[in-house]
Amino acid sequence: MAFRYGLLIGPEHIRFLQNTRTYVQINANEQLFIEGEWVELDDTDTELLRQFSEDIRKVVPEIVSLAVDGVEVGLSSIETMLAGVGSKSQQAEWRALIRETTFQFMSRFVRTGDHFYLAPQSLNELDNFLNGELKPQLTNLARHTVGAVWGALRDALRQSDHNFERSDNQDLQSVAELMDKITFGLDEKMIELEAKSALFCQRMRELDQLETQLQARVPLLQLYDVVTEKN
């Protein structure tokens, strides 16, 4: 399931946006504006709009909160693991990569008081970001700084107390051990995301069905289909 438009939710309104332009706005859960023009509704239409609006208000904040909390937990786990690893400049390099990688992603999820923003996207993009973008970049950085990182963690990671020489392959194995530790929090969060994804998908399908009913009553809304099922 996916949102075709961005959704901005405040206490008094819901807006469907694309490239900062508002195409549909719902005021107080019962007034509908399309392209800035007020659409007159009868009692049945208004009740459908109210149900649709209230369901959006339930689903979107949960998705935004899950995304924000998920990334924050992941970053906290990584930064805890990196505390004391390598020099101060190396630690700063790790933190800079993490923050840079997450900044663009997190701009699609905004939570400020009673206001929520969700950019157009599908529900699986958070998992793709954590598993497909952040972890590979961390692994790549670890391989480029393996000497310093291994020097700092050697005593904690090695299997034996005896002195021995390490080959390049063994260094890469050390990186894998390090990354396993660093991404443990991310893996836990992804398990939680997977557990919730089925529930979110079902609720969005119900939201899509309600939107379809409303579009049948207000044909102009068919031009701005916000909830969709991705093939």
Q: By CB neighbour count within 10 A (0-12 exposed, 13-18 middle, 19+ buried), where does 219 fall? A: exposed
Question: CB under 8 Å to 51, separation ≥6 — which residues?
Answer: 210
Residue spans of the domains in the chain: they are: 2-228
How high is the pLDDT of residue 24? 97
Q: What is the pLDDT of residues 91-111, one digit of tens each?
A: 777 777 767 766 766 777 788
b/e for 105-138, b at 16 or more Cβ within 10 A? bbebbeeeeeebbbbbbebeebeebbeeebbeeb
pLDDT in tens, 121-163: 766 665 566 566 666 666 665 555 544 444 444 444 444 444 4
Question: Does the predicted TM-score (pTM) go above 0.85?
Answer: no
What does the pLDDT profile of the chain (231 residues) look like in tens digits? 788 899 999 999 999 999 889 999 999 999 999 999 999 999 999 999 999 999 999 988 887 777 777 666 666 666 666 666 667 777 777 777 767 766 766 777 788 888 988 888 766 665 566 566 666 666 665 555 544 444 444 444 444 444 434 444 444 455 566 566 655 655 666 676 666 667 777 888 899 999 999 999 999 999 999 988 876
C-beta separation of 5 from 56 below 8 A: no
Bridge partners, 115 (sequence order) = 112
